[in-house]
A and B are shown apart, each in its own frame.
Chain A
Amino acid sequence: MVRGIMGVAVLVTAYPPNRLRAQDSQFGVQGLGTPGRFESVRARSTAGAFTPFDPLSPLTEAPLADLSILTATAMSGTSYRESDLGGSTASLRSTRFPLLSAAGRVAPRLALAAGFTTYLDKSWDVTQRDSTLLRGVLQRYTDELTSNGSVADVRFAAASRLTRRIAIGGGIHLLTGSTRQTAERRFDDTTFHTVQQLAEVRYSGFGISGSVLIGVAPGLSLAGWARSDSRLRAKAGDSTTALTDLPHGAGGGLLFAPSPSVRIGGSVAWRSWSRSGPGAFNTWSWSGGAEFGSGRMPLRLGVRGGQMPFGPGTTAPTEFAAAAGTGRSFAQGRASIDLGVERLERRGTGLTERVWTVLVGLTVRP
């Protein structure tokens, strides 16, 4: 059975890299992209409420201190997105593999983790009809601008439990990735040749983070985290084409477990995305969720809300989501599969996106 699980794990994680394109949103087309979630399937099934306390979510490091054995996890998400833009609707689909992480204890008071997650999704494809006056004649054309790729957050983290009640952690984040961008214009009048330009744009950046986990009372925990990212450097060929300030962020969470089979949590987060330039906003986000049952198949529920960092107009687009999920352990707890589903709605100037996302996570403890 373990071999079967490992087989599925290999298939999920070793899928061809050209498919590892990020989830996208039209709100990110004019901005840096769509920020990633930094959540495992389990945390995302609670709408992010458990994220600050989840050792397999790359948001905080302190919970890693409670991992007793080496643990690896990966997830995939398939989204079915419907956008409504000024009465014009479009149905879009995409599949992403936004998380791969391995962590374990290397000393009695020290745990280490390494992995990557999606920092910014930069995949989109926009087509547009327009016309322009050329040589005295109005020429109609179709533009197609595309970007395929993402910026990944490669994290190296360490955590230690200082006392029975306090654990701390820190991490460094290497931001790296690339997008293949194309710009194409096809004229209705074929006397004008089709314009096709493409470029490979590489991204790099750096960030640090720290977090703390405090056991306030039996069954009640508090978590706090902070993160600072430097600048995102975009290079096309040998030229730096953009140097964009990345946000600072901070957040915290509360987890209450009145009984072994009930856990209730909530979290908030703030990020200073407005540093990245015009059309960007600082964002607040919140979430609340619960997990019921600790046996074979727990039930997870949650809701989240908040703002999107990029969008037109003077106010930030908003999002609201509800999520649910469950999980199942196999092989005497050495492996588990988590399943989740999320319904998300984003609203901004003239645009509403509704997304169903099916999440599958696989965790292995060899």
Chain B
Amino acid sequence: MRVRRLALIGAAVLAAACVEDLSAPGVCPNYCPTAGLTIADTVLYDLSRDSSFRGYVLPHRSALLLAANVPGVVDGRAIFRINGPGTRFRINPNDTTTGLIEGADSARLRMVISRYDTALTNLALAFYRLPKTIDSTTTFADVSGAFTDSLLRTLNIDSLLAKPNRKDSVTGDSAAVDTIGHTIALFVKFDSTAARYVGADSGSVAYGIRVSANSPVSIAITSGLAAGPQFLSRYIRVDSSGVPVSRNMGLGLPAFASFVRNPPSPPIDSTLAVGGAPSARSIIRVAFPRVIRDSSQIIRATLSLVPAVAAAGVPIDSFAVEVHAVLVDLGAKSPIAIDLTHTDSTMIHIGATDTVQVEVTNVLQAWAADSTQPTTFVLRARDEAQSFAEVRFYPTAAPAFRPSLRITYVRRYPFGGR
């Protein structure tokens, strides 16, 4: 009995021990700690040794093929090549007997438009035959002749989308719209002329795409080996003991895809260029005061950049600029830190000339946390070479418009004071 009583008392003591609520509303200054958190705000103009470089992502390495028709700004066209099977093709898939390929009957091209302006009217694509020699060195001038005299066919996307089930029974074209991903998958029928087979070329074909609409237009087509423009089917005629038989070559993936532009990307000058295709990056170095770096906690940092040349194009070409910390400062080849704690960003809107404010708190907090990190910003487009648009900021050498860094920070709280 007594033991049970003692156990109850013990349990009561422990239960009473399990309460804790010390928080009280402070009525200052009488009943608050005498010291408080002190906030300071400063603007640093001590940014220097800035420079720009171009060529980080080239058009043929881009995830998107760009086509644009913005008069006075850029004329961009997508180009791609699909390699052929050679001069012979299996007559029967179950044996190795092959026959000479005599020609092509038709083909079905699949391509995905992954960025477009839904407000456009009369959006149309024109397909051109290009020489199969196109490669990463091909320029707009190299293919301008083909884009003049080698039109294969046109496709009015608005008209196609307006048809029942988005299928054109006359041309054989069809479309599928992804309303969530905002993409249009196009299935384009090429006749024997457009999908022609030339034995001397081993059946390889190259095409160019030009876009038009009732207003300035810029679109992006998904690129890549598996996602880029490709033949879903390509029907050819094969000689079978003197009798031509029709065979389907099946999937024809792009061997090369890129885009060309006119005029070419403007050369790098003394301004800080970001974006474009090929993509440009800019580097800014910051003399980060030790008093802030070592003894303070940064709660907000804002990088201010004044556009010297506004980004040009159509509104859909607006792009995000990221500010990265670098792992090591090697100039143009500085490897950038790509995790979120070392990256901040802002949107660059087409035509805007207002001062661009980029919240770079993450980057500066990373600098403060690791004093061995170089205090260097790298500015780049988030999706490099995925837009023709490019912005140029005034450099540090322009006294009136130079970049500045505004830092709001909290000094160390005087812990342990009376």
Contact = CB atoms under 8 A, between A and B. Distances in A.
Interface of A: 1, 4-5, 7-8, 11-12, 15, 19, 21, 24, 26-27, 29-32, 76, 78, 83, 85-86, 88, 90-95, 123-128, 130, 132, 134-135, 143-146, 148, 181, 183, 185, 187, 191-199, 201, 234-236, 241-242, 244, 276-277, 312-313, 330, 337, 349-351, 358, 360
B13 A76 contact: yes
B147 to A, nearest CB: 48
B22 A185 contact: no
B300 interface: yes
B388 to A, nearest CB: 32
Given A30-B33, A95-B20, A358-B16, A4 B6 contact: yes
B359 interface: yes
Q: Which of B3, B19, B28, B415 has the largest number of chain A CB atoms within 10 A? A: B415
5 contacts: A15-B17, A78-B19, A88-B27, A183-B37, A199-B413
Given A26-B31, A126-B31, A234-B416, A90 B22 contact: no
Nearest to B19: A93
B31 A8 contact: no
Nearest to A23: B22
Interface string B310-350: 00000000000000000000000000000000000000000
A128 B16 CA distance: 29
A46 B412 CA distance: 46
A78 B18 CA distance: 9
B101 to A, nearest CB: 64
Given A93-B20, A94-B20, A124-B22, 7 more contacts: A11-B13, A143-B36, A181-B413, A193-B299, A195-B297, A197-B413, A337-B9
A244 B406 CA distance: 40
A142 to B, nearest CB: 10
A356 to B, nearest CB: 12
Question: Which applies to chain A's interface (DSSP): helix, strand, loop or mixed?
Answer: strand
Nearest to A183: B413
A194 B161 CA distance: 50
Interface string B176-189: 00000000000000
Nearest to A136: B41
B18 A88 contact: no
Contact of A242 (B10, B23, B24, B417): B417
A125 B39 CA distance: 21
A76 B298 CA distance: 43
Contact of A351 (B6, B31, B39, B415): B31
A280 B359 CA distance: 46
B346 to A, nearest CB: 12
B398 interface: no
Contacts of B415: 181, 183, 197-199, 201, 236, 241
A125 B22 CA distance: 6
Contacts of B36: 143, 145
Given A8-B13, A11-B14, A241-B416, A351 B26 contact: no
B416 A125 contact: no
Contacts of B414: 241
Given A31-B418, A143-B36, A126 B30 contact: no
B411 to A, nearest CB: 10
Contacts of B37: 143, 183, 185, 195, 197
Interface string B125-164: 0000000000000000000000000000000000000000
A285 B299 CA distance: 48
Interface of B: 2-3, 6-7, 9-10, 13-14, 16-34, 36-37, 39, 41, 297-300, 359, 361, 365, 406, 408, 410, 412-418
Contacts of A312: 29-31
B416 A199 contact: yes
Given A85-B25, A126-B31, A201 B39 contact: no
Contacts of B32: 29-30, 126, 128, 145
Contact of A19 (B13, B17, B28): B17
A194 B37 CA distance: 12
A26 B24 CA distance: 8
A48 B18 CA distance: 27
A88 B25 contact: yes
Given A11-B10, A145-B33, A76 B17 contact: yes
Contact of A195 (B2, B10, B22, B410): B410
Contacts of B408: 134-135, 192
Contact of A124 (B24, B27, B41, B413): B24
Q: Which of B13, B23, B34, B418 has the largest number of chain A CB atoms within 10 A? A: B418
Contacts of A5: 6
Contacts of B412: 197
A92 B39 contact: no
Contacts of B26: 126-128, 143, 145
A91 B23 CA distance: 9
Contacts of B28: 128, 130
A244 B408 CA distance: 34
Contacts of A195: 37, 297, 299, 410
B21 A93 contact: yes
Contacts of B13: 8, 11-12, 76, 360
A8 B22 CA distance: 27
Contacts of B22: 21, 24, 92, 94, 123-125, 146, 148
B87 to A, nearest CB: 65
The 9 closest A-B CB pairs, nearest first, are A241-B416, A199-B415, A126-B26, A312-B30, A8-B10, A128-B26, A201-B416, A183-B413, A236-B416
Given A30-B34, A85-B27, A241-B415, A185 B410 contact: yes
